Amino acid sequence: HYGLYLDYSTDFWVEENVFDMSWDSLTTPPFYNYRVGLFVKDSGTDQNMIYGNDFTGCRDAMILYDHNRNNNPLSPTGLKIECNEMTDNEYGFDAYMTLDSLNAAWGIHPSQGVAPVINPQQNGTSAGNYFEGQDNYDVRNDDSLGVFTYHWRQLGDSDTPGNTAIDFEDNVSPESFDINENTCPTNVFETRNSSLAQIESEFSEMQNYRDQYETLIDGGNTDALIQDLDQASSADENATFQMMMELSPYLSQEVMLALIQREDLLSTNHLTLILTANTSSAKSMAIRLALDAREAQLSDDQRSMIDQGRLLISEKEQLESRIAYHHRRYKGILDRERVKIMEDTSITDKGRALEEIMGDYENVGHRYFRIEFSIRSGHLEEARALLDSISSDFELLGTEPQEYQDYRYCFGLLIDEEEVPEGATDILMQIAERSASRASGLAQSILHTSADMHFVEPVVLPHLGDEEAIEEGVNIENPAVLKYSISPNPASEKLNLKSIVIHDSKNISLEVRDTSGKLLIEQKVLGYNGISSIEVPVLSSGIYLLIIRDLNSFESESHWINIQE
């Protein structure tokens, strides 16, 4: 499943779209693992741009295939990735190739900053991309030269981008650049008003579309419509069918599921026509499973009619897209203003400044941030009041109910309990092991502080870097001896090496050599939520050299290990 697929397309600018692949409509087997926000292949040497888009819930936010740049290091051109937000995906963006050959034109533009690098002593401006919560890597560039060229810095006398050191973190860390209208200006509108006016405008547009949507969806009252269906009988079939068709294509998934489960209410022909008129049904895993579970199965032709909806976008889905578009825009402005407030040393009462700029326009994520800020500022009662107000003030737009419950549970412990209560550790571990989120970060922090469990980076405030987090009192676990905390401990006298767990790993390789230097094992590792588990073939007893290489910085460390059966 792809949000946008560009194959042999060129001279394009993909700007300010929302690629949200987390909704149920894209989980149809066997394609669950192939949800890609944007796919680009062979766009050539033109100055193509992917700018200001929002990617969430994807397996891959972007896949960038093969020939997407020229091979002239002195005058580079090609595909650029700038000012995008990638949150809670399995992977960020992946630039790689299908052929195993050295070709300098295979890859993406060698300087991904807003301005190319001209002076060998200067860096290009950051590309302005924002990454948060990917399960695996944020960026991988496996181009034909085998190097990262995402954001490069020339050193010495070298003129060739592919051979220079890579200033990789400048584009991955959200703290390394200022998010503001100068770094990532919008290009959709010709004029720009004040930030508050922009927030008000975008929020108003979102609310207008949302009001339309709530009026149209299920005739404006989903609960009442489901209740009517529960009370209807088979004698009401024609009236029910007519009413459902009049409400189409604005039937919700809840109503369609109720229709599918009432096998005595509608014939399969009538049910097929209703689901066909609501094309979102073809994209819903829950509806497909409900159809599979019916005793009165639909025929192959009927299922095929419904499945045609995969190729269509209904008025309901277009309205949902407009709501998401304006939601992203107002959220982006709020994010930029929040960063400016936190970095402005002249603002002493940051809590009040945050409240004034966010006002009535914040969403759940911004409210979370204000709660976190209140806690680390020592205003626990204010934090509690803000947390308790979430359920009544907000719809959980963009926030999974499970994450919301996890968040409330963790904050309750963080505020009320000096020690982790009996039985809470297992629950906290389940939360900590979920895909990266504020809730998982809180759970890790509580376990680290109260239960002496070590995580590489238990961060309560995901928008702070390590240095700033330490200044604010957030626990950062730094293993005393190893940069990579390895389990089992390679320093132990005896080691039965069946598997190795490496913490603090984003993108590393592992080598195992014998005493003669012969390479026995070589494996690239992409860390999952900061932890990599490597299954190692059983080695016979003996002395081995374990080498871990950081593929981002090219640093390495070595350890002799003694394996005994």
What is the distance between the alpha carbons of residues 427 and 418, in angstroms, rounded to a whole number? 17
What is the distance between the alpha carbons of residues 240 and 252, in angstroms, rounded to a whole number? 16
pLDDT (tens, 9 = 90+) of the chain, 565 residues, equals 788 999 989 888 898 888 887 644 334 443 445 689 999 998 988 888 898 888 888 888 999 888 888 877 667 788 888 778 888 788 888 877 765 555 667 778 766 654 433 333 334 455 667 777 777 777 776 554 433 333 332 233 333 333 333 333 333 333 333 334 445 665 544 333 467 777 788 888 888 898 999 899 999 999 899 999 999 988 999 999 999 999 999 999 899 999 999 999 999 999 999 999 998 887 787 888 889 888 999 999 999 999 888 777 788 888 887 887 787 777 777 777 777 777 777 888 877 787 777 766 776 667 777 777 777 677 778 877 887 777 665 654 445 566 777 777 877 777 766 677 777 777 777 777 665 566 776 776 677 666 555 443 333 333 333 333 333 333 333 322 223 333 333 333 333 333 444 444 456 677 777 665 667 777 665 544 444 444 455 456 666 677 777 666 556 666 666 555 4
Please determine, looking at this structure, whether the domain spanning 486-563 carries the CATH number 2.60.40.420: no
User: DSSP assignment of 271-307, as one string?
Assistant: HHHHHHHSGGGGG-HHHHHHHHT-SSPPPHHHHHHHH
User: DSSP assignment of 83-146, as one string?
Assistant: S-EEES-SEEEEEE-SS-S--TTSBS-SB-SSS---STTSPPPP---EEE--SS-SEEEE-TTS
Q: Which long-range contacts (CB under 8 A, 24 or more apart) does 261-267 make?
A: 261/290, 262/229, 262/230, 262/232, 263/294, 263/295, 263/296, 264/233, 264/234, 265/229, 265/232, 265/233, 265/234, 265/236, 265/237, 265/240, 266/237, 266/240, 266/241, 267/237
* pLDDT tens column, 470-490: 333 333 333 222 233 333 333
Three-class SS of residue 551?
coil
What is the distance between the alpha carbons of residues 458 and 471, in angstroms, rounded to a whole number? 14
Closest-CA residue to 261 (of 235, 283, 232): 232
Residues of the chain with CATH 2.60.40.1220: 486-563
Between strands 499-503 and 507-513, the pairing is unpaired
* pLDDT tens column, 507-534: 667 777 766 566 777 766 554 444 444 4
502 within 8 A of 485, measured Cβ to Cβ: yes
Structure tokens at 373: 């800020």
DSSP state of 508: E
